[in-house]
Amino acid sequence: MQLIQFTTSLVLCTLATFSAAFPVNGSTHEIDETQLDRRGTSVPFGAVIDRCTVPGTFALTFDDGPFIFTNKILDLLRANGVRATFFLTGQLHANIIANGDIVRRAIAEGHQVGSHTWSHPWLVGGLDQNVMVKQMTQLESAFLRIIGRIPTYMRPPYLAVDGSVLAIMGQLSYHVISASIDTKDYENDDPVAIWNSFEKFRRELDGGGTITLAHDVHRSTVDILAQAMIDEIRKRGLKMVTVGECLGDAPENWYRGAR
């Protein structure tokens, strides 16, 4: 199925026609929207967002952790006085519960964490809706164990979305974050090749990109690319903040309690 990035108006139309009930584990899962407080934010739910809306801001984001390199990139960010956003998986390179201390450290140091699904599946093209919901709710349960809250921001694996994905994320009250700069660092995880990702980063930064995608699970990203990106962004006079901040969303809206 061809991937489609919907405009906000089209997504809202899709959400209006999508039932609030969909199957989970063979039964019907009702989402009581009265229990999901959306009043505190102007950031749309269930719509693709790939750029900052606050002028002069830039959002560094890192996907697929937590992993053995995540603490090192947190050290780097702290040394540079930079806040970033981490879209975390439940069980991919490492188990999130076993690495709960990394999640808590990221939040304590001012970073934002979001959901990247439990096991990083391809969500589009006919994935059963109950499986998609479980990918989110299973990770929510892990977040509740680790930090006592659930993120309201998510990034779809491979940045892949379609109408069904956006509708379900809207029903689950998630802001869907894509990227306007994709470093493709996973293709260049080598001390020499990683500079190809940096050049791609610069080209897309020249083109007006303000939310970048990289991965804290690749050594060359942590050792080389992250600092190079920070230096370049500073040269442009941009302020590096979390995704929530670059969208003008107050920190209290980045997480919520249990459903």
* CA-wise closest residue to 63 among 213, 198, 171, 257: 213
Q: What distance in Å separates the CA atoms of residue 183 and residue 236, rounded to the nearest whole number?
A: 18
Quick one: three-class SS letters along 142-207? HHHHHHCCEECEECCHHHCCCHHHHHHHHHCCCEEECCCEECCHHHCCCCCCHHHHHHHHHHHHHC
Residue 42's CB: how many other CB atoms inside 10 A? 11
Residue 193's CB: how many other CB atoms inside 10 A? 12
215 in catalytic set: yes
Question: Which residue out of 111, 116, 215, 218 is catalytically annotated?
Answer: 215
* CA-angle at 189, arms to 83 and 69, nearest 5°: 45
223 in catalytic set: no
Strand partners, 87: 63, 114
Q: Is 29 exposed, middle or buried (0-12, 13-18, 19+ CB in 10 A)?
A: middle
Q: Are 120 and 64 in contact (CB under 8 A)?
A: yes
Q: Which residues are catalytic?
A: 63, 215
